[in-house]
């Protein structure tokens, strides 16, 4: 059973691969929309959200053949509580904080017991605190927890329940009035599946980083960053007598520029080098690079494009490498009506796949296409209605055995159409 689930992990998570071996760290987002909220005391405000989503998913189990479609109904409730912000969106005081949480209940509407068995509760919660902003020495602490649920890529009465907790501490040094800034950060990631059958894929990752920023002009920033990771398994990690999660010490260095070329055009570029230092199977020693451009073609619209060449630690293998092409469009149609469109194309190669999953083929090559579009309309200040469409397709050369005489193609095509209605205050 563990071998079959390992094969499922190596396939079902292809589009949603996880933490970075190249150390491109994402901070917790503690921003809130400018809503009224409930004021508590002199400097605290609470925002609340409640709503539901309804729609259709064409391929619940991410299968290549014999797709199972189902209706989807989600109930979402959430809140955030934190320091009040001024008109500039910045909170005042030596110590500011934000705590947010969201619960999402997923109900699948189908005659199939397997499909209905995918119902579950998703959870996300984040906490951040800033210390002494605007002073020579300042700091930030943040923690983000996510419980995600995802159907397997074969019909089953249970799903893949996964908890990821990411904590980060940052220390900043910038003398008042100076354009140079130094930063040190440490990030800890615990990535764990909730069932014993999938615990072989649990991971523990430490990441240490140094970064320097130079604000050359009001709209131009140069930066350089070096990170060192210590990655490994969390607990026992064996499938069929073979180690699944491999220890690594990924080292990454990069430098880049973020700038505005004109009032309407922004651009950024970076270049660096990554070394994986995996203790077994495959590793990498390669350049990383990327560039992006944004164009505000009208006061109400913006078009963006970027390209990235990256290497990232993978739950499906030692690591994967990506050539990523990403296009985005945001357009305000009316005062309260906004539209968005996004497209991604990725050429992804996995290396260092466990022999327990694929004894003869330790590599895998995928072509991944994803499209998303959305409409959001806000009315009467506190109500929001919307609709979204998501399309994804994975084409792969990888096959894994599910019996002595059968192999599975983990590629899939999937459509999801969803309508939303919520109250936000």
The number of angstroms, rounded, from the C-alpha of 128 to the middle of its chain's C-alpha atoms is 18
- pLDDT at residue number 134: 85
pLDDT tens track for 63-113: 888 899 999 999 999 999 999 876 666 667 789 999 999 999 999 999 999
- DSSP, collapsed to helix, strand or coil, labels residue 4 as helix
How many CB atoms sit inside 10 A of residue 85's CB? Answer: 17
- pLDDT at residue number 209: 98
- pLDDT at residue number 196: 84
Two tokens, residue 331: 């357009």
pLDDT tens track for 167-219: 999 999 999 888 999 999 999 999 999 888 888 999 999 999 999 999 998 89
The percentage of residues in the chain with a pLDDT greater than 70, rounded to a whole number, is: 88
d(CA 51, CA 54): 10
- pLDDT at residue number 16: 44
Tally of domains in the chain:
1
We report the CATH number of the domain holding residue 249 as 2.40.160
Q: For residues 266-278, b (16+ Cβ closer than 10 Å) or e, as one string?
A: bbbbbebebbbbb
81: domain range?
2-424
Residue pair 206/230 in contact by the 8 Å Cβ criterion: yes
Of residues 418 and 38, the one with the higher pLDDT is 418
pLDDT tens track for 12-46: 454 444 333 433 333 344 444 456 788 887 789 99
Q: For residues 388-420, b (16+ Cβ closer than 10 Å) or e, as one string?
A: bebbbebebebbbeeeeeeebbbbbbbbbebeb
- pLDDT at residue number 26: 38
pLDDT tens track for 268-292: 999 999 999 999 999 999 999 999 9
- pLDDT at residue number 30: 42
- pLDDT at residue number 155: 54
pLDDT tens track for 353-390: 998 888 888 999 999 999 999 999 999 889 999 999 99
Torsion angle (degrees, nearest 10) of CA 26, 121, 64, 307: -10
pLDDT tens track for 152-168: 665 555 668 899 999 99
């Amino acid at each position: 059973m563990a071998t079959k689930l390992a094969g499922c992990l190596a396939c079902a998570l292809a589009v949603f691969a996880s933490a970075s071996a190249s150390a491109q760290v994402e901070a917790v987002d503690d921003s809130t929309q400018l809503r009224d909220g409930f004021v508590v005391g002199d400097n605290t405000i609470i925002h609340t959200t409640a709503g539901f989503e309804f729609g259709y998913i064409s391929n619940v189990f991410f299968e290549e053949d014999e797709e199972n479609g189902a209706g989807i109904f989600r109930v979402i409730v959430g809140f955030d509580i934190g320091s009040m912000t001024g008109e500039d969106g910045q909170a005042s005081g030596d110590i500011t904080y934000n705590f947010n949480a969201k619960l999402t209940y997923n109900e699948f509407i189908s005659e199939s017991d397997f499909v209905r068995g995918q119902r579950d509760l998703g959870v996300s919660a984040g906490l951040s605190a800033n210390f002494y902003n605007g002073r020579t020495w300042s700091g930030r602490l943040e923690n983000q927890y996510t419980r995600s649920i995802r159907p397997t890529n074969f019909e089953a009465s249970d799903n893949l329940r996964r908890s990821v907790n990411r904590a980060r501490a940052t220390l900043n040094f910038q003398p008042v009035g100076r354009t140079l800034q130094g930063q040190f950060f440490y990030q800890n990631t615990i990535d764990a599946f909730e069932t014993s059958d999938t615990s072989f894929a649990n991971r523990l990752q430490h990441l240490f980083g140094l970064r320097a920023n130079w604000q050359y002009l009001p709209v131009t920033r140069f930066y350089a960053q070096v990170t060192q990771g210590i990655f490994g398994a969390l607990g026992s990690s064996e499938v069929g007598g073979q180690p699944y999660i491999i220890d690594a010490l990924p080292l990454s260095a990069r430098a880049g520029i973020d700038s505005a070329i004109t009032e309407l055009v922004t651009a950024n570029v970076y270049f660096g080098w990554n070394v994986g230092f995996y203790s077994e199977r495959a590793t990498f020693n390669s350049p990383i690079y990327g560039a992006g451009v944004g164009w505000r073609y009208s006061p109400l619209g913006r078009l963006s494009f970027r390209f990235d060449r990256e290497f990232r630690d993978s739950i499906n293998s030692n690591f994967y490498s990506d050539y990523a092409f990403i296009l985005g469009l945001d357009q305000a149609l009316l005062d309260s009506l906004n539209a968005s469109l996004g497209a991604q194309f990725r050429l992804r190669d996995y290396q260092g796949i466990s022999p327990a999953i694929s004894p003869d083929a330790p590599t895998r090559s995928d072509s991944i296409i994803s499209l998303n579009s959305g409409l959001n309309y806000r009315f009467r200040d506190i109500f929001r209605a919307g609709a979204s469409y998501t399309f994804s397709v994975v084409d792969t050369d990888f096959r894994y055995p599910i019996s002595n005489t059968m192999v599975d193609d983990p590629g899939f095509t999937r459509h999801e159409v969803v309508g939303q209605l919520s109250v936000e205050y």
